[in-house]
Amino acid sequence: MFSPEELEGKAQEYIDFCTEESRPTRVGLFRFMGFKTKQSFFDYMKDPDYKEVLEESLFMIEGQYEQQLANGRGDAGLVFALKQYGWNDKQQIEHSEKVTDTGEHEW
């Protein structure tokens, strides 16, 4: 397997390799780095020597997805991919109201 520094280079090489027709994906990244399964990638992330560089490589893919979204490409596939990174498309509104007991009513 590659050293952490070599994997960092492979991640950037993969991003550079991708085109408009062949956008970067997590699985594409895993394969480009030489991993045979997703599990083997995540197993390597448990090693402190590899953890930071592998997290950064995932962050690079997330950044590519976010850039596509910013460029107006918000199809369901892209939205689903970003949800795998913890994004959500729900709007949450918090509402609070202060109620003061004036003593006029018996509760």
How many CA atoms lie within 13 Å of 40's alpha carbon, on the beta-carbon side?
Answer: 10
Helix (H, G, I), strand (E, B) or coil at 94: coil
Residue pLDDT tens, the chain, 107 long:
789 999 999 999 999 998 777 888 999 999 999 999 999 999 999 999 999 999 999 999 888 888 887 788 777 777 777 787 777 777 777 777 776 767 776 65
Residue 105's pLDDT is what? 66
Report how far residue 2's alpha carbon sits from residue 105's, in angstroms, rounded to the nearest whole number: 74
Alpha helices in the chain (DSSP H): 4-17, 26-32, 38-45, 48-70, 76-83
Query: How long, in residues, is the chain?
Result: 107
Residue 31's pLDDT is what? 95
